[in-house]
């Protein structure tokens, strides 16, 4: 049992070794948040779902075979666009947040019933997180659901970033994301954990939303289900 | 739908740039640049690895290995290969996607009467 829990811990902490396998491994995890989302997907028809993770055929299949409309936008990848990097007045490199929002999440107001954010806030550059969440608020329908995952404690900057494939109503397959060379800021091909949000930070991040529900998982991931 | 052999498809080479309305009644392989519209109602379009299409596309089947920006409307199926970069909406009955394909937009699966709409990875 101890061995199993240690292995699960490693998934989110990173092993600290550089000898990562060439082919990213796929791992499964049960998700209480996804189970809640699935209840909505199964009880209503023709919902509009925005998936902000990496393009996933599994997710498209899961959503479209239930008759829902699937919108896909890899927001993390978009945020790493090197052309968004500009020098500010002090001469420091920063990400052009205005241009980022001009080019991404450009949907009509109150379009989406469900937004799948996955682990985006943990890995996206800090200056973009709040503006992106505010934009999500405006493109979601009142009563719509947003699912996001947060690390519960500092897992170190090398904690692997996963993409999530929905395999069943409450099961997700996780696959480590390796960055293409064009999106790298350094010689590493992994995304870096930017920060760890505590409960208060998360509540502030979603303060404009109607309600927020936390699910603490065994693997040190806090699943957050937010109602618009 | 595999990459075609020379002669099986009308071929737009990688140094060719076309702006305007492109229509036809034979299968088309685009490895160059097309801006405008592509209409191949009963035929297929393949966008090769060097292809860069900024157009709304209507065809029976569409295979993307390169870049497409615009709405893709395929009456039968759409295949996004691992090097595909698609920005725009896809409307089709069936879609398959290889690991590594990038897609930004809406997928609207038009179900065949009495059948589920399959998606393959």
A71: nearest CA in chain B?
A: B106
Pairing of strands B28-30, A211-216: unpaired
Query: Which of B102, B106, B108 is nearest residue A74 as measured by Cβ atoms?
Result: B102
pLDDT for res A149: 94
Q: Which of residues 9-48 of B touch A (CB under 8 A)?
A: none
**Would you give the DSSP letter of residue B50?**
T
3-state secondary structure of A147: strand
Residue B110 pLDDT > 80: yes
Number of Cβ within a 10 Å radius of residue B3: 14
B82 touching chain A per CB within 8 A: no
User: Looking at residue A159, what is its pLDDT?
Assistant: 80
pLDDT at A153: 76
Question: Which chain A residues have a beta carbon less than 8 Å from that of B121?
Answer: 57-58
Average pLDDT over residues B1-13: 71
Cβ separation of B96 and A57 shorter than 8 Å? Answer: yes
**Confidence label for A21 from pLDDT (cuts 50, 70 and 90):** very low
* Block residue for tokens 């480590």: A176
- What are the CA-CA distances from residue A228 to residues A136, A147, A203 (Å)? 9, 11, 13
Residue at token pair 């099986």: B8
Mean pLDDT of all residues in A78-103: 88
CB contact under 8 A, B104 and A58: no
In chain B, residues with a C-beta closer than 8 Å to the C-beta of A74 are 102, 104
Joined tokens for residue B57: 């596309």
Q: Which candidate, A136, A126, A130, A140, places its Cα nearest to that of A104? A: A136
Residue A55 touches chain B, beta carbons under 8 Å: yes
Strand partners, A114: A49, A145
Whether chain B has a CB inside 8 Å of the CB on A64: the answer is yes
| A127: exposed, middle or buried (Cβ count in 10 Å: 0-12, 13-18, 19+) | middle
CA closest to B92 among chain A residues: A64
User: According to the model, what pLDDT value does residue A109 have?
Assistant: 84
Task: Quickly state the pLDDT bin for A14 (edges 50, 70, 90).
Answer: very low
Mean pLDDT within A167-186: 75
**Is A89's pLDDT higher than 70?**
yes
Whether residue A58 lies within 8 A of chain B, CB to CB, comes out as: yes
Mutate to test the interface with A, among B99, B119, B120 (most CBs of A within 10 A): B119
CA pseudo-torsion sign A64, B74, B110, A107: positive
Q: In 3D, which of A226, A222, A227, A221 has the Cα closest to residue A11?
A: A221
- What is the per-residue burial (b if ≥16 Cβ within 10 Å, else e) of A19-46? ebeeebeebebebebbbbbbebbeeeee
Q: What is the ipTM of this complex?
A: 0.78
Q: Is the pTM of this model over 0.95?
A: no
Q: Is B118 on the interface with A (CB under 8 A)?
A: yes
Task: Say if A169 is an interface residue toward chain B (CB within 8 Å).
Answer: no
Average pLDDT over residues B80-90: 95
The pLDDT of residue A116 is above 90: yes
The C-alpha of A31 sits at a distance from chain B's nearest C-alpha, in angstroms, of: 22
Average pLDDT, chain A: 84
The domain segmentation of chain B, as residue ranges, is 9-109
CA-nearest residue to B104 within chain A is A73
Q: Distance, in angstroms, between B21 CA and closest chain A CA?
A: 27
Give chain B positions within 8 Å (CB) of A58.
121
pLDDT in tens, A201-212: 999 999 999 999
Of B104, B116, B119, nearest to A60 by CB-CB distance is B119
DSSP-H helix ranges across A74-139: 75-79, 97-103, 120-123, 126-139
Looking at per-residue confidence, does B112 or B26 come out higher? Answer: B26
Determine the pLDDT at residue B93: 92
């Amino acid at each position: 049992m101890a061995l199993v829990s240690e292995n699960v811990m490693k998934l989110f902490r990173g092993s600290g070794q550089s000898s990562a396998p060439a082919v990213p491994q796929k791992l499964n995890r049960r998700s209480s948040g996804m189970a809640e989302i699935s209840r909505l997907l199964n009880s209503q028809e023709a919902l509009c779902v925005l998936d902000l993770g990496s393009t996933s055929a599994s997710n498209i299949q899961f959503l479209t075979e239930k008759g829902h409309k699937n919108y896909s936008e890899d927001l993390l990848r978009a945020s790493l666009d090197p052309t968004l990097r500009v020098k500010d007045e002090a001469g420091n490199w920063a990400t052009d947040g205005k241009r980022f929002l001009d080019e991404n999440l450009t949907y009509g107001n109150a379009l989406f019933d469900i937004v799948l954010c996955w682990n985006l806030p943990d890995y996206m550059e800090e200056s973009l997180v709040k503006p992106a969440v505010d934009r999500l608020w405006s493109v979601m329908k009142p009563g719509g659901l947003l699912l996001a995952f947060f690390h519960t404690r500092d897992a170190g900057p090398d904690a692997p970033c996963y993409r999530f494939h929905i395999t069943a109503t409450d099961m997700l397959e996780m696959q480590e994301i390796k960055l293409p060379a064009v999106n790298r800021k350094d010689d590493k091909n992994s995304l870096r954990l930017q920060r760890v949000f505590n409960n208060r930070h998360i509540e502030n991040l979603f303060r404009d939303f109607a309600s927020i529900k936390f699910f603490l998982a065994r693997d040190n991931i806090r699943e957050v289900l937010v109602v618009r | 739908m595999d990459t075609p052999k020379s002669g099986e498809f009308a071929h737009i080479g990688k140094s060719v740039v076309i702006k305007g309305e492109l229509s036809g009644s034979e299968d088309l392989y685009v490895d160059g640049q097309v801006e405008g519209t592509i209409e191949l109602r009963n035929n297929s379009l393949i966008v090769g690895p060097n292809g860069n299409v900024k157009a709304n596309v209507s065809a029976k089947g569409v295979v993307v290995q390169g870049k497409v920006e615009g709405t893709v409307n395929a009456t039968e199926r759409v295949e996004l290969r691992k090097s595909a970069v698609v920005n725009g909406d896809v409307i089709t009955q069936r879609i398959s996607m290889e690991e590594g394909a990038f897609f930004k937009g809406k997928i609207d699966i038009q179900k065949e009467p009495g059948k589920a709409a399959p998606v393959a990875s």
